[in-house]
Amino acid sequence: MANSRNLLTCLLLGLTVSAKAQHFSLSRLFYPNLTLKADYNVPSSLDGTRDYGVSRTGFFGIIPLQSEVQLGYSLRKKFDLRAVHTVALAQYTQIQPTFDGKNDPANGYKTLSLGVIRLQASIKDRLWVYGGGLGMTESNETFFSPQPFFWGGAARMHVLGLRTQFMYGSVLAYNQKLRFIPVFGVNKGLGKRWRVSALLPFMVNANYKATKWFNVDFLAGLNGYSGGFQVQTPEEKALRRENYRQIKTGVAANAHLFSVLNVSVEAGVTTFRQLRTFNSARENLTSYTPATTPYIGASVRYITSRSKFSSKFMRRMSLGEGGIW
């Protein structure tokens, strides 16, 4: 469910996933941009006899589809000015586990997901975020047995001054089973350089803006994955499913370069609460809890175009600094 959670983060706080994103900002939804990302978990003890590691690579793209202002007239004979903004999201992630430093193709998998997010605001100080998407998971060894997942939800944001916003909502997601996830988010500026953001129960982030082109994140997050695919053996053809739950804390350095690039480098520690493989009858095949280990990550974001109107709007709403962090 890693990809779907990244899209859920987009739905509710404007952006991979995902506790996996080096930095998130609602301003990203207002510019076409493409992010290439990779991270690597240093191998740690799996069961006392083997080491387990994970590497992830992929991309995340945002394409604005619609931005307009609409004038409406209600049944109460009152005019309302409404602004809407719609974007498309696309994400691909390749996940490759290692055992004792060797790749295991049978345990590697890839995910692809597509989604749409709509932001709607009116002069009545109402800001809603709606979204939905679908995706699939596939083993690295096959191309014709994808397993689907989908999600959808909505959140309401309240703007309390220029430096404080909070939001609440819910998400309905399906990946092997149907889940209802209540969420709460907050975005609070502290002084001129600090900003604290949280999307519970997924992520907490504190950002320090050192200069106009450089900032630092201190983050903690809960990440997870749940997928399924066909595994063929000489004896049988069976549906195999895997999942994991991962907790991570780290520090990320973000640099905005040449007006079109954002470069981020992240490092910290991570631990697995659960690493499990089971069959379609939900019978455990393997179950492990790897030890805590360091991780490193990096991402490069390319902004294809910029808009002075969007930059001004983001500054006025205090949802960003007019840039695309």
DSSP per-residue letters across 47-113: SSS-EEEEEEEEEEEEEEEEEEEEEEE-TTS-EEEEEEEEEEEEEEEEEEEEETTEE-GGG-EEEEE
Query: Which phi and psi (to 5°) does residue 126 adopt?
Result: -115, 120
Query: Which phi and psi (to 5°) does residue 8 adopt?
Result: -65, -40
CA distances from 55 to 38, 243, 244, 247 (A): 7, 15, 14, 16
CA distances from 280 to 132, 177, 240 (A): 26, 12, 6
Q: What is the pLDDT of residue 177?
A: 78
Nearest to 152 by CA among 138, 167, 169, 168: 169
Nearest to 107 by CA among 231, 223, 288: 231
Cβ(85)–Cβ(307) under 8 Å? Answer: no
Q: Which residues contact 314 (CB under 8 A, 6 or more apart)?
A: 26, 27, 30, 320, 321, 322
The beta-carbon contacts of 126-132 under 8 Å, at least 24 apart in sequence, are 126/156, 127/156, 127/157, 127/158, 127/159, 128/154, 128/155, 128/156, 128/157, 129/11, 129/12, 129/154, 129/155, 129/156, 129/157, 129/167, 129/169, 130/11, 130/154, 131/7, 131/10, 131/11
Beta bridge partners of 293: 270
Q: Which residues contact 113 (CB under 8 A, 6 or more apart)?
A: 3, 4, 7, 89, 90, 91, 92, 133, 134, 135, 136, 149
Q: What is the pLDDT of residue 20?
A: 35
Cut 0.85: pTM above it: no
Containing 3, the helix (H) or strand (E) segment is: helix 2-13
Q: What is the pLDDT of residue 284?
A: 79
Q: What is the pLDDT of residue 72?
A: 64
Q: What is the pLDDT of residue 257?
A: 86
Q: What is the pLDDT of residue 108?
A: 79
What would the two tokens of residue 315 be? 């500054």
Looking up tokens 């998400």 gives 171
Instruction: Look up residue 6 and give its amino acid.
Output: N
What would the two tokens of residue 62 be? 């945002």
Each residue's pLDDT expressed in tens, for the chain with a length of 325 residues: 445 444 445 554 443 333 333 344 556 667 788 899 999 999 988 877 888 888 889 998 888 887 776 666 655 656 667 778 888 999 998 888 888 888 876 677 888 899 998 888 776 657 788 889 998 888 777 777 778 888 898 888 877 766 788 889 988 888 777 888 898 888 888 888 898 988 888 888 999 999 988 999 999 988 766 666 666 655 556 666 777 778 889 999 999 888 788 899 999 999 877 777 777 777 777 788 888 899 999 999 888 765 554 554 455 444 444 333 4
Containing 40, the helix (H) or strand (E) segment is: strand 33-45
